[in-house]
Structure 1
């Protein structure tokens, strides 16, 4: 039995492609678990990578780009373009014999693969570099992946139909590349014609059409008699003899070597462009008298003079089902304080943070994910800023660790997602909340090493948060309910901590009460109660509140103090956009804070009435602080 073989160049490029796509696929599936509707991927948690997920995904993507470049060059240089040539003959083959039909189908499948792989790489580049890096690019990236998987299955099936196992196993049996058919060179053709015209005239013997000249046989024996010399010479040789040198020598390079050189050059250019094209936010220095007023008004002279930076973020929850928003960032400093203006698109002004509704059986906390820590309906809008000194293009591998159980020995996540923590120093995190943030503070927190779980976290009564924790100090807001813990029998939610003194006044402050999560709250309304406006819960006071009443789920009491109070802010929503003004000292002196200086990297994220499902961007923003 004669075994079928394939040229070694095709085999090498084929298995490089398979390996790179396999790594990209499994790491990409892990990344995709962050999308709310794709938690089903966690069923394959055991086979998905957990460490350096983003890094290996990008490395595999770079190898895919290199292989694509190499394969295109290799096909041309090796003369194998006929393998995938899509012409009239191929289309006619679709209606011909079985062999022709299978061959035509295989070529069509190859072109489907070429298109899908091109879209996969283009959408991946768009997401990475922030060009059209929104819902559409992410969706295109997702579906292109599955088209390629479908191609792989059909590709194998088609080759099996063409030649059985022998056809399939040829990809394991290397052979030398057959030489391509030589193309006729116009210069060589003219030289050959000139030599023929200069040669002595020949006579044609009657009846046989063969030239008669000394030494040329007429009996059909084309072997040249001893001593005879033909006047017709091969193209590229002189008429003086076969030992003459070629007039037009050419350099023949191995097609695979040429393809590899092109691939290495192309990927080197991409890597250089990645390092040079840094996303940069310029923080200009202003006079202290020109510092912007923190009131949510973007008309300050400082903001008009600041250079804006735009970044498209995606992968979040809500935002009208697309999970994306475009964020504008401006920044200035006066030598002591840094001021930031963040503007992002949000279709609704959402202030309802776990409101409480009185029903016939008692109070109910409105939610769809409170116990798991993944609320996406009844939650306030939020915005977060991350600062780190680490030069990380892919911070996700250092500050977020995917998997339902990323820390051995610690509690599993209640959301099916990963956990935030950092083992390479503290990462500064600011978190603004639409409800409590209206009092002028942005919560100062950090990612640090994984914390020891509390008893309630260890028994999955409340979510374990890994290394995410507020800075030392206190905040001025608390939830208007408590969780009654019983580590042996679970937990249950109990009555509100506080009730309004004046139900009518509290209802008026909340504005029009619309419990549809997709509807925003009225301008001027607020969904919190202060200590002065409320009283501790009692059954007697509860009895005077009618069934159907709704009260806020947040109590404002006290002040922000300590390291937690380092960030001041104020926000305003109008015409489908939030504008958030923020101020913090350039250097707070806290070990949990990152000084604001040149070389620090920033990331931003927006939440649309979602507890944890925030948008994100891949490349960081490098700060350039003017002295």
Structure 2
């Protein structure tokens, strides 16, 4: 007798196809059939959601081609759920095989070469090859589980890229195995052999049920332990508040606890990775956070303007698609949640149109919003646009808003465009229309613009090197690469009075004042020096706003780093839990 891993059939040595055609088909245990199809379903969900995640990569080929038929929405979350189900089924199957005694059939197959016909011998050889492939499937499932777990934990050993490559190898290996397995089943026993996986007999059901209970308990316990073993950042109370100046040289920071977070999958960062060192203090009224991370380039060219023979042009590669990864500033974002450790997974909705009935994001990458009515607090610090104010932009993710029935003919100061992108649940705290800056152009038409203002001072005309990123090694102190022009140092642009020569480069950001209201809650200042950013932020523990998360014991926090990238930030999935001492 032989037991098939994926079809779960019990068969004589020669296989059911060698029986006379009129004989009754052999039947597989009901438990084997159920486990088999649950494995097929969960692996199918894992592959489909995994391909959707992979399709978001700028260099994706196969997964990008499959994107039109792949699922959309909270695919990160469902990829994690299906992975946990696969783990539970793997453990269930192992316990079931051992306890029922069926497992020995995976390693023993009687030799019939001297007792059977040549067709029987051929069938046995195919069955033996199929049995060897079972162990390959075991190995691929184990590799997929291990590398998936490492990615969830944001492990960087040996490198994030190597872990992702092994995870892809396991996924495509399982696709190849499934094709080979079905082919060998048919070749070794015909369709009659393959049909046995649809014909149940009720044996070993109690053993299978007990195995599943044990497996679900083990995986459920691991999930519970994961929530108990989150990173914890101890926020110590202080009587001396640090200066919010972007330098970590206040003596009070020496007593602060440190947490290091490994971030991955960010555009432009070496290997897509960086490590954020996070510290926190509070004084009973405000919290103070210090973020430090490696970034080999200081990027201050936020879609600058260049004068050409045809007129003024925005320097960009994919700005209108919200996917600019060259001419952009460095940024950092923090996200706060009250209690949901899965918020980083459930607030991301991938796909061209994940929200039925509403438009998708311009670049087709997905949208941010919540589906349970909750608010996620987002602190969005932009190294150029927020530098003048010494603030961070206070935003939030919430339930998605419907798109306006008609595009309003009003200029969006954040983008300088007449057609601001639909952002679903990603919104700015009120007053949302005042950004404390505006883009220095009149309208946006495939990159060609009219500047709003020209500089009075020739020193505000950028050097040619401004469009490239500064290399590491800058002196300690305020950067000489400003990236913006003070409004009071400019005059209105007039087409007939434009003495600037062709080739002139201009920063595109015009500061207009401080962020106010809810949107101006966060003090922030960052400095770049010798290949590292240092950013200090501060906010009241409880602002009283329904769009802000009160910071208290147990508040959850995530960090995202942007290296001159508009939206492709490095991230981690598991939150840091704050502990106020």
TM-score (norm 2): 0.83
2:364 is aligned, of 410, 416, 422, to 416
Q: Show the 5 A alignment for 1:13-412.
A: 13-38=35-60, 41=63, 47-50=69-72, 52-85=74-107, 98-132=122-156, 134-175=160-201, 255-257=207-209, 259-287=211-239, 290-320=240-270, 322-389=271-338, 391-396=339-344, 398-412=346-360
Kept in 2: contact 1:24–1:60 (CA 8 A): yes
Partner residue of 1:483 out of 443, 457, 466: 443
- C-alpha offsets along residues 274-329 of structure 1, whole Å, 9 cap, x if unaligned? 23213322211111xx2111222223222221111222222332213x33322221
**What is the distance in 1 between the residues matched to 2:374 and 2:194?**
52
Q: CA RMSD in A?
A: 3.1
Q: 1:612 aligns to what?
A: 567
SS of match in other structure, 1:603: strand
Alpha-carbon distance in structure 2 between the residues aligned to 1:295 and 1:517: 23
Q: Deviations over 1:564-597 (max 9, x none)?
A: 2111111122333211111111122223222111
- Number of residue pairs the alignment of both structures matches: 532
SS in 1 for 2:196: helix
Three-state SS of the structure 1 residue aligned to 2:181 is helix
2:33 is aligned with 1:11: yes
Q: CA deviation at 1:54?
A: 3.9
Residue 579 of structure 2 is aligned to residue 624 of structure 1: yes
Relative to structure 1, the CA distance from residue 86 to residue 516 in structure 2 (aligned partners, 3 Å threshold; closer, same or farther) is farther
Q: In the TM superposition, what whole-angstrom CA distance separates every residue of 1:51-84 from its partner, at most 9, and x where no partner exists? A: 5544433322222111111222333334444544
* 1:75–1:40 CA distance, 2 compared to 1 (3 A): closer
Q: Distance in 2 between matches of 1:120 and 1:599?
A: 32
Describe the shift of the 1:515–1:123 C-alpha distance in structure 2 as closer, same or farther (beyond 3 A). Answer: same
Distance 1:298 1:83, change over 3 A: farther
Cα gap change, 1:139 to 1:327, in 2 (>3 Å): farther
Alpha-carbon distance between aligned partners in 1 of 2:471 and 2:355, rounded to the nearest angstrom: 38
Distance 1:31 1:83, change over 3 A: same
Which deviates more from structure 2 when the two are superposed, residues 587-596 or residues 125-134? 125-134
1:264 & 1:373 partners in 2: Cα distance? Answer: 42
Q: Compute the displacement of 1:536 (Å).
A: 1.7
Cα distance between partner residues in 1 of 2:450 and 2:278: 42
**CA distance in 2 between partners of 1:452 and 1:10 (Å):** 47
Given the superposition, is the C-alpha separation of residues 445 and 261 from structure 1 closer, same or farther in structure 2, using an over 3 Å criterion? Answer: closer
Mapped to 1, the partners of 2:279 and 2:101 lie a distance apart of 55
Describe the shift of the 1:492–1:324 C-alpha distance in structure 2 as closer, same or farther (beyond 3 A).
closer
Range 299-308 or range 169-178, more displaced: 169-178
CA drift at 1:366: 0.9
Distance 2:495 2:279 in 1: 51
1:466 pairs, out of 424, 434, 450, with: 424
- The superposition leaves residues 133-158 of structure 1 with CA deviations (integer Å, 9 ceiling, x where unpaired) of 84433333233212111111111112
Does residue 551 (structure 1) correspond to residue 517 (structure 2)? The answer is: no
Q: Structure 1 25/429 Cα, relative in aligned 2: closer, same or farther at 3 Å? A: same
Q: How far, CA to CA, are the matches of 1:569 and 1:86 in structure 2? A: 68
Deviations 1:181-214, CA, capped at 9 Å, x for gaps: xxxxxxxxxxxxxxxxxxxxxxxxxxxxxxxxxx
Describe the shift of the 1:176–1:337 C-alpha distance in structure 2 as closer, same or farther (beyond 3 A).
closer
Instruction: Indicate conservation of the 8 Å contact 2:463/2:505, yes or no.
Output: no
Contact 1:483-1:492 within 8 A present in 2 as well? no
Q: What's the CA shift for 1:521?
A: 10
The answer for the alignment partner of 1:526 in structure 2 is 482
* Gaps in structure 1 of 5+ consecutive residues: 90-95, 179-252, 485-489
After TM superposition, the structure 1 stretch with the greater mean CA deviation from structure 2, 66-75 or 116-125, is: 66-75
Which of 506, 516, 519 does residue 460 from structure 2 map onto? 506
Of structures 1 and 2, the larger Rg is shown by 1
Return closer, same or farther for 1:519/1:164 CA change in 2, 3 Å cut-off. Answer: farther
Contact 1:78-1:255 within 8 A present in 2 as well: yes
Within 2, Cα distance between the matches of 1:97 and 1:356?
A: 76
| CA distance in 2: counterparts of 1:75 and 1:500, whole angstroms | 77
CA spacing shift, 1:350–1:164, aligned 2, 3 Å? same
Structure 2 distance, partners of 1:497, 1:516, is: 24
Q: Is the 8 A contact 2:123 2:187 kept in 1?
A: no
Structure 2 CA distance for partners of 1:570 and 1:39, relative to 1, 3 Å:
farther
- 1:588 maps to 543
CA distance in 2, matches of 1:363, 1:521: 33
- For 2:386 and 2:575, how far apart are their aligned partners in 1? 25
Partner secondary structure for residue 436 of structure 1: coil
Q: How far off its partner does 1:331 sit? A: 0.5
